[in-house]
Chains A and B, each alone.
Chain A
Amino acid sequence: MNSLTPCAQEQEVASPCIDVCRMDAASGYCEGCRRTLEEIASWSTYSAAEKRAVLARLPARSLKL
């Protein structure tokens, strides 16, 4: 995210967490990164391809705040 963040190696897929970390009850997405609880909880077990697949889904998720 930024150079102060303990970032993973470049070839790895960085977490989209932006430290907002609050679930929106209506949508079931995190208000910051728009992942579901399942996607956050399982992130560290995903392969790079699975992580990229999650990232690709995020922009389309509109927040109903």
Chain B
Amino acid sequence: MSLPPQIQVLQRGWLSSNNILIHEKDSCTLIDSGYVAHAAQTLQLLAHALGGKPLAHLINTHCHSDHMGGNAAVQRAYGCRISVPAGEAAAIAAWDETSLLLRYTGQSAERFRHDDTIDAGDSLRLGGLEWEALAAPGHDMNALMFYAREARILISGDALWENGFGLIFPELLGQPGGYAATRATLEAISRLDIDTVIPGHGAPFGDAERALATAFARLDAYERDPAKLARHGLKVMLSFSMMIQGKMALAELPRFLEGIPIYAAINRRFLDWPESELRNYLVQDLQRAGALKLEDGWLIAA
């Protein structure tokens, strides 16, 4: 697995998506801008990587907080054009915090203005390569992936990671069709010739086939037992919030969970556990997974 030199992956963590830079001779395009709380480091990394070159264009694979949270800061710093997936444009223009899954999930992002949209089927010329925008519904019904057919590179966003894919939010939110869309997207990826996947989170990887096998197995398991998706979704949401907060008094947890609608909504829809059971499950299972520590009554992101 190797990437041509004009493609630079700033590998971030989990709270911030990767930032992918595609260099031209005298300008640059960025794909995805990370989480708002990390915007200062994102700008520092960009300045370092650009080395004085202007950033002309910012493109989002989809408009979740961890991919577009830094858009406003990047726009202020570089005055670059911003393109969002066509299906996200209305929610971005209206800054619809519900459909952007911000307030509903306890996440935030800074409002920005997009300049234009990219639709599935569009082609883009970036870094001397021809990229096709492909529909990637599932995790986000409006998401796009970008595929360089000749170079056999897929920028997959949260549709495919080395070890899974992003939460199937439509199903978690009670909108049917999420599983079928996820399956269709994975099937579409499996029809592509791929040497390198640049995922939204985690390191770029070469073995797309192995990642697809993992993803299909996970999807099958969720579809067989949707409560499994629900439990995983709740843990991912709380783990994400703990990364934002760093730490939280255990005694605060009930009020915290009550204040963020998605926890009760998922619990009601899939699990129907008493609140105390939900809390105990989350705290114990996230400790077991190594994502949380409990010290002197404080929950600490690990």
Which of B38, B48, B239 is close to A21, meaning CB atoms less than 8 Å apart? B38
| Contact between B45 and A40, CB atoms less than 8 A apart | yes
Flag whether B235 is at the interface (Cβ < 8 A): yes
Q: How far is the CA of A5 from the CA of B17 in the complex (A)?
A: 12
Which of B8, B204, B239 is close to A2, meaning CB atoms less than 8 Å apart? B239
Q: Which residues of B contact A49 (CB under 8 A)?
A: none
| Contact between A6 and B41, CB atoms less than 8 A apart | no
Flag whether A60 is at the interface (Cβ < 8 A): no
Question: A1-33 vs B: 1/0 string, CB under 8 Å?
Answer: 111111111001001011111110000001000
Flag whether B162 is at the interface (Cβ < 8 A): yes
Main secondary structure of the interface of A (DSSP, over half): loop
| Contact between B13 and A44, CB atoms less than 8 A apart | no
Given contacts A8-B162, A38-B48, A40-B45, contact A21 B12 (CB under 8 A): yes
| Contact between A19 and B204, CB atoms less than 8 A apart | no
Of the candidate stretches B55-63, B97-105, B178-186, B195-203, the one touching chain A is B195-203
Q: Which residues of A contact B10 (CB under 8 A)?
A: 40-41, 44
Given contacts A3-B289, A6-B164, A8-B203, contact A19 B44 (CB under 8 A): no
| Contact between A4 and B289, CB atoms less than 8 A apart | yes
Given contacts A22-B38, A38-B48, contact A6 B290 (CB under 8 A): no
Q: How far is the CA of A37 from the CA of B42 in the complex (A)?
A: 10
Smallest CB gap from B302: residue in A: A2
Flag whether B9 is at the interface (Cβ < 8 A): yes
Q: Which residues of B contact A22 (CB under 8 A)?
A: 38, 40-41
Q: How far is the CA of A15 from the CA of B201 in the complex (A)?
A: 11
Flag whether B6 is at the interface (Cβ < 8 A): no
Q: Shortest beta-carbon distance, A38 to chain B, in Å?
A: 7
Interface residues, chain A, CB within 8 Å of chain B? 1-9, 12, 15, 17-23, 30, 37-38, 40-41, 43-45
